[in-house]
Amino acid sequence: MQQKDQSLPKKITSGRLGKKFAILIILFSSCFTLLSTSLQLGLDYRADISRIEQQFQNIQTSYLQAITLSVWSLDDSQIETQLVGLSQLPDIEYVSIIVDGEINWEVGEARSAANRTVDLPLDYTAPGISSQNIGSLRVTASIDNVYQRLINKAGVILISNGIKTFLVSGFILLLVWFYFNRHLKTISDYLKDIDLTRTVEPLQLKKKTAPAKEDEIDNVANTINQMCRSLHKSYEELNQNKLHLQELVKERDALLVSEREHKEHLEEKVTERTQQLQDSMNNLRSAQDLLVETEKMAALGNMVAGVAHEINTPIGVCRTAASFQADHSKIIRDKLKSSTLTQSDLNDFLDGVDESSTLFETNIVKASKLISSFKQIATDQSYDACQHFTFDEYLESSIQTILPQYKHSNVNFSIDVEPDIEMESYPGAYHQILSNLINNTTLHGFDKETGGTISISGRSDNGDLILDYRDDGRGLSSEEAKKLFEPFFTTKRGKGGSGLGMSIVYNIVARQLGGRISLQDSDKGIHVRIQTPLIVKKALPDE
């Protein structure tokens, strides 16, 4: 109500928004006026200085020769007339003629504190007479006049712009009040009086606007009316929900009592189910251990079959050589009985005996080495005792027992192991690791027809053995790599893959050897790195 009693000027100037607009316009206009005025005054100053310099140039070109003739002829009246004419030029306040260092003629007075003075030489020339300097013309121009004009002009510009800025600011204040402030005040008063407990009357602005010509203020008013209706509806729904919530709270209290009773019964069920799960886990561990042992026995059986097949070759050669030697011995004996034995026949027989003896020795040594390697590996696999051994020598024996299994599989081996690595560990575990890795590569990584190359390298590093196993097979996808060491994960389910090979390797490395195994990045195939201590005091307990 107080706003209605105020006069129009007070209404216009009472709005903060309008004041802000006016202040910003005044500041911008003032800055722009000062900048433009400074630029204009600078240009005018340069133009006035240039005009004074042009005056000096005009005097030199137009008046200097005539003044020189007048001084030469000592025509005082003419000189006075010429000097008075020069002093009448714009901004020229003092003119004098100096002869032999003394002022002989002068007009005007140099009163300005800021001025510009030039001395122009009076050189007389005539036919038959060389050029002679008879004195100089001193001309003084006032700079104070230039400054005064600039000050007057600046005052006019600033006053005119100040009046213009005042009028524009006042007009803007009026527009802001008419189009914004008075409507905002109405909206503010309306929002202060909203009571959601009763039906809200729509907001009415003090303006008449056709629906097709509604502006942003009208849109705000319409939005506020819609918001008030929605709030009133939401408030009624909230009251209904409050009543419903109170009913739900009562039901909840009843459910809590029932839940407490059910919880006590559930705890008994959970204890019983936990015991069942523990029993299942124990059974699962037993089954897993049995599967691991089965896998190890299967690997040992494959190794036995391979070694047996490999021993057949040298034994067969020995048998053939023995049969050959027996046949030739019978022939020699028959010829000896019939007295037809010659020196040549005896020499051929002895040469054959020597060759057979060489074959016997070579193949028996080969079979002996295979049997020794198999015996050592089989003993390590069976007893799995912690013992002292040299890793490169044991690796060579282990590979010798594994090679026969892949003799016809187009699999090539590349071994690069640091020599004389002394270890106190479980040699059978390393054989099992290599056997599973090679079997995994040939089964999952290599094509049966093309085969591939397996590279095994080893070195010692700060009390650890670093064993790198690589192949150039098909490799693994990102999903397969994540599940590589999980039990029962295989890429050839039902095609010979049990899914336990790499899981067994992981358990042997982590639990028995106390080391780490990881899958490294590789451009082709897989790269498995195994790091184990050179000295293992005792087997780590199973978790």
Half-sphere exposure of 39 (CA within 13 A, CB side): 6
The answer to whether residues 389 and 404 belong to one domain is: yes
Q: Are residues 42 and 53 in the same domain?
A: no
Instruction: Name which of 49, 68, 57 is nearest 137 in CA terms.
Output: 68
Say if residue 185 is in the same domain as residue 53: no
Pair 392, 522 in one domain: yes
pLDDT value of residue 458: 94
Locate 371 and state its tokens.
């049997």
* Cα gap 503→296, rounded to integer Å: 12
According to the model, what pLDDT value does residue 380 have? 47
Same domain membership, residue 177 and residue 157: yes
Domain membership flag for residue 432: yes
* Average pLDDT score over residue span 192-209: 72
Q: Is 352 contained in some domain?
A: no
Average pLDDT over the chain reads: 78
Q: Is the same domain home to 505 and 385?
A: yes
Instruction: Domain count for the chain, please give it.
Output: 3
Give the angle 145-150-151 at the CA atoms, nearest 5°. 95
CATH number at residue 437: 3.30.565.10
Query: Per the domain annotation, does 511 fall within a domain?
Result: yes
- CA atoms in the 13 A half-sphere facing the CB of 252: 6
Distance CA 23, CA 242 (A): 51
Q: Verify that 503 and 528 share a domain, yes or no.
A: yes
**Residues 411, 520 within the same domain:** yes
Residue 59, token pair as written in the block: 């005097």
- Confirm if 434 and 457 have CB atoms less than 8 A apart: no
Domain shared by 55 and 156, yes or no: no
Task: Find the distance separating the first CA and the last CA of the chain, reported in whole Å.
Answer: 85
- The four Cα atoms 255, 256, 259, 261 give a dihedral, to 10 degrees, of -110
In this prediction, residue 116 carries a pLDDT of: 81
Provide the β-strand partners of residue 452.
Answer: 411
Is residue 77 in a domain?
yes
pLDDT in tens, 336-367: 788 777 878 777 777 777 776 776 667 676 66
Asked if residue 366 is part of any domain, the answer here is no
pLDDT tens digits, 55-101: 888 887 888 888 888 888 888 888 888 888 888 888 788 888 888 88
pTM score of the predicted model? 0.37
Domain membership flag for residue 172: yes
Residues whose CB falls within 8 Å of the CB of residue 157, separated by 6 or more in sequence, listed in order: 33, 37, 40
DSSP β-ladder status, 452-461 and 411-417: parallel
Residues 164 and 100 in one domain: no
Q: Looking at the structure, tell me whether residues 23 and 86 fall in a common domain.
A: no
Most confident listed range (13-22, 163-172, 250-259): 250-259
Instruction: Please tell me whether residues 25 and 61 are part of one structural domain.
Output: no
pLDDT band at 418 (very low <50, low <70, confident <90, very high): very high
Last residue of a domain, one of 189, 211, 245: 189
Instruction: Mark which of 189, 211, 242 sits at the end of a domain.
Output: 189
Asked which of 167, 189, 211 is the last residue of a domain, the reply is: 189
Name every residue whose Cβ is closer than 8 Å to that of residue 340 and which is 6 or more positions away in sequence. Answer: none
Residue 523 lies in a domain: yes
Percent of the chain with pLDDT over 70: 79
Range of the domain at 102: 49-145
List the structure tokens of 442. 């040939």
Residue 94 domain flag: yes
